[in-house]
């Protein structure tokens, strides 16, 4: 009986070389304004994932039937946002260079930006599907252009108009909602139009970013800024299942701050979302 | 840079003189039978409101576009229900005399009674819209006529038959439900008929009282007596938005006991309900 | 004024002799794999039940109009699963011999097995209606045939094919879902077909087992293995109300682990489910 | 195997008739000004007492070697302080009339008053030993003469000057400390002089009242008004052991509010204090 | 009855003009590396201070006998450490210019630096008494010279060798402890030598900075980095009382993160420390 | 920048081959009778250890100056105590065969037995130093001879009379205390005699087992059965430092159940105890 000290998400136990999807954690929450703690998400998810079945009755698919690997967490220079961004971007590039699909666990939403930057470099026609409670479209947040509240705006700077599709948005400044009207697709409050958007995105490379606070805080209270009025797990699960037909080139789940929900429900939910997303990408 | 020690709800920073709506707290929970703690609600809501956007994407309105003031909490003689009632009534009268609309944060539901009493004096044809899990129609509770469990019965004593409209009620004695059938309008469990009731109440003065436990405890566990089977935040938000066309002369949100929900979700929900209610009144 | 130290569920205060339904607790959680604690459920439910009304506005029925008794908890030899099984079975037999209906509060789901065994002996044509997040159809769990994860498989061993009807199932291994297809009725994820199943079960004896984790963890986080994507309280309440026309010969509610939900919401929910189930049986 | 629904403190399972000490709960917290919840203490202590050994290695005594009974909780008319006082006094008298020693679990400290009143009637030369963080010597609290903050003052009204001995006091108004100097014995902050006081109280009847907040909140955070700077459990245990030689005619432990300490440590501490006190009385 | 929305620490209700000590909050936690949250401390302390007596039985002094004012919290530009430092320094200078004594509630320990800087300008012979679990003597923390972990090193840059006196230190790098040996006074683990240090500091201006994590986490768990092995409240209270004879020209209490201790004990402790410190300064 | 998914205790990052001490986790809690959860301890300690300094100011030693490795957790067959025992024993033997010192994190106390068994085989003159609140000397617990409550009795079966030295014991049955008097050394309540025992154990191989509940629950509430009246961290730290001169051939720290203490203090304490113990062994 061999002891071990490797901590991977359940079902992600293939070697890097043989895997198609590579999972890694980006435990950074340096620009969080209200309640930090997302830095703890990846490892808490790995630990609690062992309460999860690898089989999804929703998709009738099993993680065990695929080759998936988990590289663990990136090690960040604490408190230096620019170097964190560089580290994530570099790792993503390596994964892409090896013809694998990067799948990231945040951290705050800002960590999505360097992944998108690397993926965009490989896939210049990149489209982004974005689930979130918040528009994240500010030009800056208190003067900082690289912020959790402006991360999708930064992605828009990269990919340009009408390439971003937002769902479930229910909080932001008036300016953000006005920006959205002009420059991208936004479904407010709900995720009912995912189906038709998916139909329009056949044959283009798509990145999926899931800010878990798109979920209602009744099922996902473990996050920095809970926003009542979110979608249910069933709605998110259904939306993810619709993505299966897309050409997905990368993805992430972000903004779990596990310590705020001592019941463990938020972490269990995050784990299930990650399982469904991985199955949607791989199948 | 000027320091300050004034604590107001976000967006309620106008002076009393220039404001149309005046917010105040009534931190009383003296007749609570099960789990007290609503006395802490107003100040916790003020503090946490700074995580809230002033802009409502539901209504496309912004608190910052209106003149709203926050008088802080009333100071109560502890343990003397009658003097508490008098203090609330007196304050409400002053606000009404100054041609402003009173908006109160409880406290337990009993604090609604003195506000209604003062408003009724100014508006003898007063109608009341009441969201709640509990009917609150007991003649008394363990011999006390002034109780959180009898507050709407006391309001009925004032305004009379067919002036009260209850929504979302899902708990009470058999007698309360029978009283309701005869003397007022009650939609059990849901808030689906708010629209048609609103249509029937054009041109009469209306008071809105929202016992937040009308919400399902999944989204609002921070209350004394959680009652499963409640409505969602989306349903309550929609119901409130329907009230915009009414002639609203006062309102309140009551029964948040913030300490029971350490995730902060209940307080965030209460803050958003208050924002939506204020916008429904002012717009 | 007579002091007392008898703790019964609200409304279950008749004597054993005069009662038609006999409630008892089976506080065992010895095979729980992830997060134990259901042993505390019966007494926490009894204590908190005093915040519950005996009147159900859903059914327009009142516990006080019926004769119901509460025998308290069984006393178990700690750590000896076989003797626990025997004790539960024996108690159930005594209740059945006295022509009363057994109603049990768990404990983990395994405690259902000895009750079903005793009820099946009295009613050889027994059918089982089963609400749960998990299929509980494993042949064994890590080599143990008597496990919370295999309890319904053990019941199937007893009652045979097409006698078990499962609702709300959303987690399990691929093998369990395949077994279900062949040997019993399973509605995945939802409880929409309860009505038609009830119609098909007139005139046969039926046992009802409610694993409370069939509820969404938003309303029921106080359980060992929370599974997002469950049903709402309203859906479960409605399903229970449909059971009224059946010939119910026994029932249970299991898997509340009250300490994981410090808000008290899970316990309040469990109490209301028990009230509704008792009223469905007795009326 | 006989089921049961009797809940008693561990080791207190003798019948009333054969017992020398009679335990009962007085779950009242109606005058609590800051954080209520002591009403839940007696039953939580009973439940958690099963994690306690009946043997005390401190005293080398075992509860199982004595005849002790537990009558359960008194049933109170909610919200009526005077009737609560009467009920407690009446029960105490009955116990005394039957030549037994009353031992009470609170509730807030006010419940001590009616017990002392009854005991004083039987023992006119009654002396009181009082452990507490607070002096509880106010003439009234916000106009109420019967208050948790004035309970020892009320006892002083009964027993008179120099009959009360306070230990561990560390909070109160300046007036209370000045009253204490003139009318009774007070050791501030510590319990170092218990030994010499005990020596001076041979041959007189003594009542022991332990407000558990005399303990430091590091070990006893489950109380309404935590006061840093208290004594350790070891110090309190030692002080209690010194009382063994006294002629103790009644006692109580009060002010546990178990829900504020979710770790269970406060309840475990309260249970151990009660065990030690019972052994000090009975041995 | 006049409502109000001014939130001050109990007993600090004099006007700025008439007061000798001016309290203000510096709710900044921007460089916290482990568990942030001290930004919430000042207002939680103000709220909970109303459970505190204004009279100290330790000192036999009462806050009500002095003129003390509370300016509330400074308003900070979020995320800009340099501007935060400037704002605190500027406020402190104004208070000093008005011949008053500044008393600050943090925030993380870094906020001490700008206060010391301003006080040092007025009092070039400034000495500092520092209570803390951590030495805070790093030259920098991950490259940042202005950090909670280097704040006393920065103060040393200002005041120079042998002007700083540390007590209770029990955590740091080997380098910090070696620096301390050469450049300042440090009592490790305990506060037993406060008395003799106080004797040596007559007639010089002294600043007192109390990082509350000097207390053992048994009594003070509400902080970012709990360090077992700290001092008791009694020891800290005694040490503070010894400071009374000094010429104190400013002070602070920092590093309460109230949300980590849901029992409220840490906040109660912080309030009492602040009361004792204020009385030591003013008397 | 290389990502990684290896989780080791801080400072334990040497390779197995080069290390003198080998740390491993034994996350088993199958016989826990009251509140399980120690299975989560090793990984929570690894995660939280990054808030710990590697330098001990108590010993003036630094983990970074030694070669220490962490093998991670053993993987156990769930629910099979005998196979768990075998797995731990086998791993310990391998470590001993490689001339290294085993250091284990539990898990419940029963996991100590197989380590002692393996160490005893290599060192037949083995002596055991045991810190605990509980004697753990039962012949069996409810019929089970392998139980957390009988683990030291099982060790006594191996090593024989007068080879075991217990400290801090404060709970058990009368029989256990009587057994102790005859067969081993026990210091009740305190750890004051560690110094003299250490003096008597020069030149013999010693195993150190630290049940962390020897600490007072004020500093260590995160455990299954909190026992007030324990020792302080300072006392335990001092006792450990006295062990440095011994010939230590193995050790463990057990019984942290991290989830019961949401403040993180218990885990921080456990980490510091492990650091001190490792330094005592290695230096």
Nearest-by-Cβ selection for C228 from A53, A233, A262: A233
Nearest-by-Cβ selection for D57 from F34, F177, F228: F177
pLDDT of residue C75: 82
Nearest-by-Cβ selection for A1 from F1, F47, F74: F74
d(CA B5, CA E69): 11
Contact assessment for residue E116 and residue E109, using Cβ atoms and an 8 Å cutoff: no
- What is the average per-residue pLDDT within F161-168? 98
d(CA B271, CA D167): 46
Interface test with C, best of F32, F38, F76, F78 (most C CBs within 10 A): F78
Local structure of D134: helix, strand or coil = strand
**Weakest-pLDDT range from A181-185, E186-190, F48-52:** F48-52
d(CA F116, CA D176): 59
Higher pLDDT among residues C146 and B71, named by residue: B71
Q: In this structure, are strands C55-56 and C61-62 parallel, antiparallel, or unpaired?
A: antiparallel
D40 — pLDDT class (breaks 50, 70, 90): confident
User: Mind listing the pLDDT tens digit for each residue in A218-273?
Assistant: 999 999 999 999 999 999 999 999 999 999 999 999 999 998 998 999 999 999 99
> Residue C73: exposed, middle, or buried by beta-carbon count in 10 A (0-12, 13-18, 19+)?
buried
User: Mind listing the pLDDT tens digit for each residue in E116-155?
Assistant: 999 999 999 999 999 999 999 999 887 778 888 899 999 9
d(CA C148, CA A232): 28
Nearest residue to F225 via CA among C101, A159, D271 = D271
Higher pLDDT among residues F268 and F34, named by residue: F268
pLDDT of residue D74: 92
pLDDT of residue D77: 61
d(CA E250, CA A214): 47
Contact assessment for residue C69 and residue C138, using Cβ atoms and an 8 Å cutoff: no
**Weakest-pLDDT range from A67-76, C162-171, E29-38, E166-175:** E29-38
The count of other CB atoms within 10 Å of the CB of residue B114 is: 23
Contacts with D58 from chain F: Cβ below 8 Å: 170, 189
Q: Cβ contact (<8 Å) for E174 and F62?
A: yes
D34 close contact with B: CB closer than 8 A: no
Longest CA–CA span in chain B (Å) reads 60
- What is the average per-residue pLDDT within E101-108? 96
Nearest CA in chain E to A35: E37
Q: Cβ contact (<8 Å) for E228 and F218?
A: no
d(CA B152, CA B164): 9
**What is the overall mean pLDDT for chain C?**
93
pLDDT reading at A134 higher than 90: yes
- What is the average per-residue pLDDT within E4-14? 87
pLDDT reading at A79 higher than 60: no
Phi-psi region of E203 (alpha: psi -120 to 50; beta: other; left: phi over 0): left
C1 — pLDDT class (breaks 50, 70, 90): very low
User: Mind listing the pLDDT tens digit for each residue in F78-101?
Assistant: 557 788 899 999 999 999 999 999
Nearest-by-Cβ selection for D219 from F228, F261, F262: F228
F1 close contact with C: CB closer than 8 A: no
**Weakest-pLDDT range from A28-32, B103-107, D196-200, F8-12:** A28-32
List b or e across E53-87, with b for residues whose CB sees 16 or more CB atoms inside 10 angstroms: bbbbbbbebbbeebebbbbbbbebeebebeebbeb
D108 — pLDDT class (breaks 50, 70, 90): very high
pLDDT of residue F37: 81
- What is the average per-residue pLDDT within E198-204? 94
Nearest residue to F209 via CA among F170, F242, F255 = F255
Longest CA–CA span in chain A (Å) reads 60
pLDDT of residue E7: 82
CA-based radius of gyration for chain B: 17
pLDDT of residue A1: 39
H/E stretch holding C249 reads: strand C247-254
pLDDT of residue A128: 98
Q: Cβ contact (<8 Å) for B227 and C263?
A: no
Higher pLDDT among residues A33 and B172, named by residue: B172
C164 — pLDDT class (breaks 50, 70, 90): very high
User: Mind listing the pLDDT tens digit for each residue in C202-246?
Assistant: 889 999 999 999 999 999 999 999 999 999 999 999 999 999 999
pLDDT reading at A119 higher than 60: yes
CA distance E60 to chain B (A): 27
Q: What's the predicted TM-score (pTM) here?
A: 0.89
The count of other CB atoms within 10 Å of the CB of residue F234 is: 18
Within B46-107, strands assigned E span 55-56, 61-62, 68-73, 101-106
pLDDT of residue E145: 85
E21: Cα separation from own chain's centroid = 14
CA distances from A3 to C36, F23, F104, F108 (A): 25, 11, 12, 18
Edge-to-edge strand list for the sheet holding C247-254: C68-73, C21-26, C101-106, C247-254, C205-211, C127-131, C164-169, C185-188
pLDDT of residue E77: 61
pLDDT reading at C2 higher than 70: no
Q: Cβ contact (<8 Å) for B5 and E3?
A: no
User: Mind listing the pLDDT tens digit for each residue in C38-93?
Assistant: 888 998 999 899 889 999 999 999 999 999 999 999 987 655 778 889 999 999 99
d(CA E161, CA E138): 15
H/E stretch holding E43 reads: helix E41-48
pLDDT of residue E1: 39
Which residues in chain B show pLDDT less than 70?
Answer: 1-4, 77-79
**What is the overall mean pLDDT for chain E?**
93
B218 close contact with C: CB closer than 8 A: yes
B143 close contact with D: CB closer than 8 A: yes
CA distance B166 to chain E (A): 31
- What is the average per-residue pLDDT within D70-75? 91
CA distance C36 to chain A (A): 13
Percentage of chain F with pLDDT > 70? Answer: 97
Strand partners, C55: C62
Contacts with A58 from chain C: Cβ below 8 Å: 170, 189
User: Mind listing the pLDDT tens digit for each residue in B23-34?
Assistant: 999 998 877 777
Q: Does the complex come out with an ipTM higher than 0.90?
A: yes
pLDDT of residue C79: 52
**What is the overall mean pLDDT for chain D?**
93
User: Mind listing the pLDDT tens digit for each residue in F228-262?
Assistant: 999 999 999 999 999 999 999 999 999 999 989 98
DSSP one-letter code for A249: E
- What is the average per-residue pLDDT within D130-137? 98
């Amino acid at each position: 009986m061999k002891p071990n000290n490797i901590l991977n998400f359940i079902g992600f136990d293939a070697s890097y070389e043989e895997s198609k999807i590579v999972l890694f954690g980006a435990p950074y929450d340096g620009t969080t304004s209200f309640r930090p703690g997302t830095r703890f998400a990846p490892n808490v998810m790995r630990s609690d994932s062992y309460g999860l079945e690898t089989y999804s009755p929703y998709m009738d698919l099993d993680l065990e039937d695929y080759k998936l690997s988990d590289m663990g967490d990136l090690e960040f220079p604490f408190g230096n946002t620019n170097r964190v961004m560089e580290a994530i971007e570099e790792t993503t590039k390596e994964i892409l260079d090896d013809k694998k699909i990067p799948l990231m666990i945040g951290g705050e939403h800002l960590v999505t930006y360097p992944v998108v930057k690397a993926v965009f470099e490989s896939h210049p026609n990149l489209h982004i599907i974005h689930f979130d409670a918040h528009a994240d479209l500010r030009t800056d947040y208190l003067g900082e252009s690289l912020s959790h509240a402006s991360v999708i705006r930064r992605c828009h700077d990269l990919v340009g108009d009408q390439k971003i599709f937002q769902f479930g948005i229910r909080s932001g400044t008036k300016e953000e909602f006005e920006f959205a009207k002009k420059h991208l697709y936004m479904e407010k409050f709900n995720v009912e139009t995912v189906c038709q958007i998916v139909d329009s995105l056949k044959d283009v490379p798509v990145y999926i970013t899931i800010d878990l606070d798109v979920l209602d805080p009744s099922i996902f209270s473990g996050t920095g800024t809970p926003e009542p009025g979110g979608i249910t797990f069933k709605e998110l699960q259904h939306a993810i299942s619709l993505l299966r037909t897309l050409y997905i080139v990368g993805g992430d789940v972000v903004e779990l701050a596990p310590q705020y929900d001592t019941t463990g429900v938020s972490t269990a939910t995050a784990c299930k979302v990650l399982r469904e997303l991985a199955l949607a990408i791989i199948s």
